[in-house]
Structure 1
């Protein structure tokens, strides 16, 4: 409009005209790649990076549940238009449908997925999975095994037959270094083929595969190594000893050539009942117990991290934090300032 012309249009009309102009300049978020299609690609990526089958299943189950939630509620279902409020609503839904712990798992899985989408260029903005939206999980008391309970378990396997020697070696190793059950039960024993042999008895160590697929040498104490040596002598007479590449052999059933992690779980349940220990005794309970005992004996957080094969120091606190006060009291009793005066 020229400067010498007065605009008598009403203020409301001018404001509407201005809003229309701004609206016409707004840029809509374009539709991105379909999340279902992206899920197939992500699964392929996870498999190619040698993620554990259980981990892949957890990731993909969460992604499928999220996609179904978006579709059911008529929400955007592509990589670009999913917003933080959509993720937040899904997490609330999961918490109410299942539990805070399950919602937290969903949060962590979605964070990995959208980080992958961003890294692949399927999403051009930042991830909609925000740290502040992580569900709060009530803290539960962790169950630890006492020294007396471990001695009672070992007492049930004090015999000299194959099964007793095998079980005693497993209990000793679990209590000594706390390996994950899948890593421990997939140790190979091929003394004639050094490249695949995971047992180094002279070096007192076992080569295990960690959760992320990395290999790790698990150290063994003197008693654990001696128990393993006794088992290897008993193993040599087993009918599957020459043909099986696995260290741990079964006694009955179709899986005699390879005792699996479920077999380890069942063995501990049986031994716990014989020992008169109330409640379940699981392989995972040994993990926190071993870490606590190492710290109690004077090992540093870094030492425990290396022994357990953990990637971060935070895992040490995660497994042993509840007993920190107990260790502090014992340290004070040993180093009490008042006692030195």
Structure 2
């Protein structure tokens, strides 16, 4: 098999062709963006190091040195990310369509995948979620209420926090919930995603590609949402299609993010708190409750049960500690 001119083209000049190939293969925008990011970073590093930069000349040693440099400067997980992306790039370069290299000439064959320790995934400590919710009800902290009772923002934020803490839905999903008064049927073309009058109250999360996922709404969250909807109906922006509204209308993801940050600060939580911690916390609690992993994946909306494994090790470690505490390990 003869090589094409791609073999002698500098890597940095292949980004456009690589992008077109990825588009033809139906890769998502996110995947294509990640693959192109790796190509450009690697090409820039080769230029900085004054190394050969064509597919015919780049060696496995060059690739290994770059990945080690990435790991030293950033993290092992970032190096592993680029390793996977380079694998896809070289699959294209050695394909029968591109023919830049023989498959036996693929330098990735001799490159060992970077190893890295799985980062600790932060969850909430005991009582932190409750402390955040308590900031939404001043009377629980011994503060006097105004004559009009709780502020609208307190009512709204408690409903958001309770829904986060029982569903673990992503920030974009929470901000994207829709509401229209009087629309109660599940089949409503997205006009309403909240259904509190069913035997099991539900909230609907609309996923990419038109798929939907339903979460149950538990009693305390349902009561908080009911109060919020009654207060919402009296507001200037009650006709806004977004479920969550403020003084300027519907809340975007950034506004919800800052609300969480603000509530955490008021609760005295000094470390960084973000919405994905609720997702980890819900999964952790389900694992601690001995829920089957397949059922956890179903509850969280994951198609692959392997997602649960990302959260399992911490829970299993705590179980081991609890079991060890029952054994007289300490000398008398």
TM range (shorter): 0.7 to 0.9
Out of 300-309 and 37-46, give the one that drifted further.
Answer: 37-46
- Bigger radius of gyration, 1 or 2? 1
TM-score, length basis structure 2? 0.74
| Number of corresponding residues | 299
Displacement of 1:157 in angstroms is: 0.9
1:259 pairs, out of 226, 229, 251, with: 251
Kindly indicate whether the alpha-carbon contact (under 8 Å) linking 1:67 and 1:77 is maintained by their aligned counterparts in 2: no
Q: What's the CA shift string for 1:184-223, capped at 9, x where partnerless?
A: 222233455910235142341222326x985433333232
Structure 2 partner of 1:296:
288
2:15 pairs, out of 23, 36, 43, with: 36
Out of 135-144 and 123-132, give the one that drifted further.
Answer: 123-132
Displacement of 1:134 in angstroms is: 2.5
Structure 2 partner of 1:173:
163
Structure 1 partner of 2:144:
none
Displacement of 1:271 in angstroms is: 0.9
CA distance in 2: counterparts of 1:43 and 1:238, whole angstroms = 48
C-alpha change, 1:226 and 1:120, in structure 2 (3 Å) is farther
Structure 1 partner of 2:188:
194
Residue 35 of structure 1: SS of its match in structure 2? Answer: helix
Within a 5 Å distance, the mapping from 1:150-161 to structure 2 comes to 150-158=129-137, 160-161=150-151
Q: What's the CA shift string for 1:215-261, capped at 9, x where partnerless?
A: 4333332322332232222222332231x32222234xxxx333222
Displacement of 1:179 in angstroms is: 1.4
C-alpha change, 1:95 and 1:325, in structure 2 (3 Å) is closer
TM-score, length basis structure 1? 0.72
CA distance in 2: counterparts of 1:77 and 1:125, whole angstroms = 14
C-alpha change, 1:86 and 1:216, in structure 2 (3 Å) is farther
1:216 and 2:190 correspond: no
1:75 and 2:52 correspond: yes
Structure 1 partner of 2:229:
232
Structure 2 partner of 1:279:
271
CA distance in 2: counterparts of 1:197 and 1:114, whole angstroms = 46
Q: Which runs of 5+ in 1 are unaligned?
A: 1-26, 337-341
Q: Which runs of 5+ in 2 are unaligned?
A: 8-12, 139-149, 328-332
Structure 2 partner of 1:318:
310
Displacement of 1:85 in angstroms is: 4.3
Structure 2 partner of 1:268:
260
Kindly indicate whether the alpha-carbon contact (under 8 Å) linking 1:177 and 1:287 is maintained by their aligned counterparts in 2: yes
CA distance in 2: counterparts of 1:332 and 1:96, whole angstroms = 37
1:248 and 2:244 correspond: yes
CA distance in 1: counterparts of 2:271 and 2:39, whole angstroms = 35
CA distance in 2: counterparts of 1:265 and 1:67, whole angstroms = 36
